[in-house]
Structure 1
């Protein structure tokens, strides 16, 4: 996705159930099969990543990330089928939102000092 496209946040009450950062975390967990590996990739603490995973898992009908404890084979984390479905739906909503406001977003970006977001 282009950096100047609007980003979608899905709110439930006052809490953000899902947004771009959480989706990025889910995708990183899927790549690494590890919360700590995903946290390292994203430059965040394990605690912060764990709190975000816990928040997502509490917000949905079942866990988006399933963890296993360490041992001989080591622990790990997997994005569940629901997690993959949620990511897919979120990405579709972002694409639709970006398409529907493309002209307005382009005009709005012209009003910013640095429309690329690299300030």
Structure 2
């Protein structure tokens, strides 16, 4: 039985320069850090290693004039991480750009979807 294809969606990556980009993965990591208060927990939720999550945070912090994430070491009181005001702004602006791009491209995305071939048996 043929099922209708998923609605098209846009995954926007903004490339600022060599090695400097902001995309849906980094935005999701920031959102999860905000929600969990932890880089490690955010990474785990996304299925990535602690090292990978930390590397992405370091990359983000180095990309912008001010850090996006601050952290404190663990220990008896426990560590933690949070978004800075700059981190909140970067995340908000990235999500706004992505939403505007998706809205602006609705007609074209629908036209592209209409041109897709049917996939027999959903394979």
> Shorter-normalised TM-score: what interval?
0.7 to 0.9
* SS, match of residue 67 in structure 1: strand
* Secondary structure, counterpart of 2:48 in structure 1: coil
Mark the runs of 5 or more structure 2 residues left unpaired by the alignment: 1-5
Which has more radius of gyration? 2
Show the counterpart of 1:12. 16
Rounded Cα–Cα distance in structure 2 between residues aligned with 1:57 and 1:36: 16
Number of equivalent positions: 115
Unaligned runs of 5+ residues in structure 1 are: none
Partner residue, 1:63:
67
Residue among 93, 99, 107 paired with 2:111 = 107
The equivalent of 1:37 in structure 2 is: 41
2:54 and 2:98 map into 1 onto residues whose CA distance is: 25
Q: Secondary structure at the match of 1:26?
A: helix
Moved over 4 A (4+): none
TM-score scaled by structure 1? 0.87
Under a length normalisation based on structure 2, what TM-score does the superposition of the two structures give?
A: 0.84
* Pair 1:57–1:113, CA change in 2 (3 A): farther
Name the counterpart of 1:89.
Answer: 93
User: How far apart, in 1, do the equivalents of 2:30 and 2:92 lie?
Assistant: 11
CA distance in 2, matches of 1:88, 1:59: 16
Pair 59,112 (structure 1): closer, same or farther in 2 beyond 3 Å: farther
